Structure 1
Amino acid sequence: MPVIREFLPSDSTHVNALAAQAFEQFKDAYYDWPAFLAKIGNMSALADVGEVIVAEVEGQIVGAVAYVGPGAPKAEFFRPEWPIMRMLVVAPTSRGQGIGRALAQECLRRAKRDGASAFALHTSEFMQVALSMYQRIGFKLVSRAPAIHGVEYGVYVKELDD
């Protein structure tokens, strides 16, 4: 199992490179890949609005996610009271080892810590592996989100039990 820990400023370069690597397989889907890459390649900036969490295996960062709590600034297609998960990324060479699930579960734990009754994310249907994991965890499509550089996105929500 990976070690899940808080992001440190010294992790910025690794996290930014990891985000770019993780999305590389989808580059042909976005009509302006360079603009999209500039955005995702600065994943560490999410630490300004939320809690960035990293997963390490043998001292190497192999995954990361941003947890943005209730009331924190987020896209208007999310309800302000929903905590959300942004940019769940796993190194291509480390997929299939439960790293994404461990990061998602940590976000759900933080949502419960913050007293939330629901937790949200947005993703695209062509991100099949991630989407099926989210659905197994209990996320359900509730609405469409604006397209990002030509790629359709949906908003998924999981109701949280006490």
Structure 2
Amino acid sequence: MTIRSVLKKEKQVLGKLMVEVYSSLPGFPTPDEQPEYYKMLANVADLADSSNTEVLVAVSGEKILGGVVYFSDMAQYGSGGTATQQKNASGFRLLAVSEEARGLGVGKALTNYCIGKAKTDGNKELIIHTTEAMKLAWGMYEKLGFKRSMDLDFLQKGFPVFGFRLSLQSHI
């Protein structure tokens, strides 16, 4: 497995993967409930056009196994709540792993890649958000050292979103 920036020719494939993953989460808002969110997911690779933002994919050969959006500056993070006001912090959002690649360590590899990037960027912490519908990922984040940070919580059109921080100074 290799992790790298998404290629132009992969944009549609990654967008389709994101929509499939998020729309299949039990308890997660549907495309009918949050059409703008799903439009953003379908065009996730376009987020790389923003400064301090990188759209990453995990690939095996030509096959995209998963993706994530990394932000070296939280001002570009694009979430609700206070996350975009955090200083000396990186963040990542929209981590998705294809159904056939689940259980292969793709989510963990993408997360660890973002941790490494945040350290390289000289930030003191890494911020993420997750939901009740993403309990599997939630557990993985906690095992990697992320701690709940209720000051980052917010509601996205009535849907609770939970914040986490990882101190990069204590993370080895």
Could you say which residue in structure 1 is the equivalent of 2:89?
82
Cα–Cα, structure 1 residues 14 and 25, in superposed 2: closer, same or farther, change >3 Å?
same
TM-score normalised over the length of structure 1: 0.90
Residue 7 in 1 paired to residue 6 in 2? yes
1:42-78 residue CA offsets vs partner (Å, 9 max, x unmatched): 2112212311111112320111111100364234521
Tell me how far apart the structure 1 counterparts of residues 76 and 55 of structure 2 sit (CA, whole Å). 15
Residue 18 in 1 paired to residue 26 in 2? no
Tell me how far apart the structure 1 counterparts of residues 29 and 153 of structure 2 sit (CA, whole Å). 15
Query: Which of residues 53, 57, 76 is equivalent to 2:56?
Result: 53
Tell me how far apart the structure 1 counterparts of residues 158 and 74 of structure 2 sit (CA, whole Å). 29
Tell me how far apart the structure 2 counterparts of residues 17 and 108 of structure 1 sit (CA, whole Å). 26
Question: Which letter maps to 1:54?
Answer: V
Unaligned stretches of 5+ in structure 1? none
State whether residues 88 and 124 of structure 2, in contact with CA within 8 Å, keep that contact through their aligned partners in structure 1.
no
Could you say which residue in structure 1 is the equivalent of 2:118?
111
Tell me how far apart the structure 1 counterparts of residues 132 and 46 of structure 2 sit (CA, whole Å). 26
1:105-146 residue CA offsets vs partner (Å, 9 max, x unmatched): 110110000111111001112211111111110111112522
Q: Which has the higher contact order (CA 8 A, sep 6+)?
A: 1
Could you say which residue in structure 1 is the equivalent of 2:98?
91
Quick one: percent identity of the two aligned structures?
27
Unaligned stretches of 5+ in structure 2? none
Q: Which moved more, 1:15-24 or 1:66-75?
A: 66-75
Q: In structure 1, the residue corresponding to 2:76 is in which secondary structure?
A: coil
State whether residues 122 and 153 of structure 1, in contact with CA within 8 Å, keep that contact through their aligned partners in structure 2.
yes
Tell me how far apart the structure 2 counterparts of residues 145 and 40 of structure 1 sit (CA, whole Å). 21
Q: How far off its partner does 1:27 sit?
A: 6.6
Aligned alpha-carbon RMSD (Å): 1.9
Residue-pair matches, total: 161
Q: How far off its partner does 1:22 sit?
A: 1.1
Tell me how far apart the structure 2 counterparts of residues 27 and 36 of structure 1 sit (CA, whole Å). 16
Tell me how far apart the structure 2 counterparts of residues 153 and 20 of structure 1 sit (CA, whole Å). 18
Could you say which residue in structure 1 is the equivalent of 2:131?
124
